[in-house]
Amino acid sequence: GQQVMQIPQYQHVQEGEDFTTYCNSSTTLSNIQWYKQRPGGHPVFLIQLVKSGEVKKQKRLTFQFGEAKKNSSLHITATQTTDVGTYFCARNTGNQFYFGTGTSLTVIP
Amino acid sequence: DTGVSQDPRHKITKRGQNVTFRCDPISEHNRLYWYRQTLGQGPEFLTYFQNEAQLEKSRLLSDRFSAERPKGSFSTLEIQRTEQGDSAMYLCASSPPSGTYNEQFFGPGTRLTVL
């Protein structure tokens, strides 16, 4: 269907460890977006990936779009307590956007 | 502050009552979205406006829900005859005029509790 599946649902890491969340679709995506939602906050746009095999970096965050454009990943290197929150991927069909269930990241100091 | 604003931030109502929420998007954004989010879930798409036209509406959306954007600026979302299952965070988001970039700017949301 239209949903995107995200794994894992929860991740607890020690501060300084790396973290990866995966987003999978059964159909080819035109693009994929990533958002971060802090506890009690609202989603904040991080990035959009469009091209097959695309890799983008934002400081300690690395975003990848699969070659087949059916999956994407977000990797955080050396997590910090400020990385705490839920990370969502989102796909769109026209102007309808479908968010994944998110990966909730807890960073243990 | 030039971000997306929503009012009220919290609403408690009794089952069967009608409620209306307001969203003020970023001023130059002509695209506006409404979402509903429940605990542990991602935002669920409800409807989309481009200027004043409602171009997309979720097929899962009950006919008790209606949204307007009369002048292409602020938008309202009304829920009639509220049910306990309507309790959720209602998020509004806006985007600049269409292009390849689909970045959405979310407001703080209106938390609805139906008793």
Query: A96 in contact with B at a CB cutoff of 8 Å?
Result: yes
pLDDT value at residue B3: 94
Q: Specify the long-range contacts of residues B68-72, CB closer than 8 Å, at least 24 apart.
A: B69/B32, B72/B30
Averaged pLDDT, A44-55: 96
- A94 pLDDT band (50/70/90 cuts)? confident
Give the 3-state secondary structure of residue B86.
helix
Residue A32 at interface with chain B, using a CB cutoff of 8 Å: no
Q: Beta-carbon neighbour count of residue B19 at 10 Å?
A: 18
Quick check: A42 and B58 CB within 8 A? no
In this complex, is the C-beta atom of A102 within 8 Å of any C-beta atom belonging to chain B? yes
CB B24 within 8 A of CB B5: yes
A79 near A13, Cβ under 8 Å? yes
Question: B106 to chain A: which residues are within 8 Å by CB?
Answer: 42-44
pLDDT band of A1, cuts 50, 70, 90: low
The model's pLDDT over B23-67, given as tens digits with 9 standing for 90+, comes to 999 998 999 999 999 999 999 999 999 999 999 999 888 899 999
Instruction: Give the per-residue pLDDT at B1.
Output: 56
How many beta carbons lie within 10 A of that of residue A49, not counting itself?
Answer: 21
Sign of the Cα torsion B48, B53, B59, B65 reads: positive
| Structure-token pair, residue A67 | 């070659």
List the helix and strand counts (H, then E) for chain B: 0, 11
Kindly write down the DSSP assignment for every residue of A65-102, as one continuous string.
E-TTSSEEEEEESS--GGG-EEEEEEEEETTEEEE---
C-beta separation of A20 from A74 below 8 A: yes
Residues of chain A found within 8 Å of residue B104, distances taken between Cβ atoms: 33, 43, 45, 97
Residue among B26, B1, B37, B11 nearest B110 (CA): B11
pLDDT tens digits for range B77-108? 999 999 999 999 999 999 998 766 679 999 99
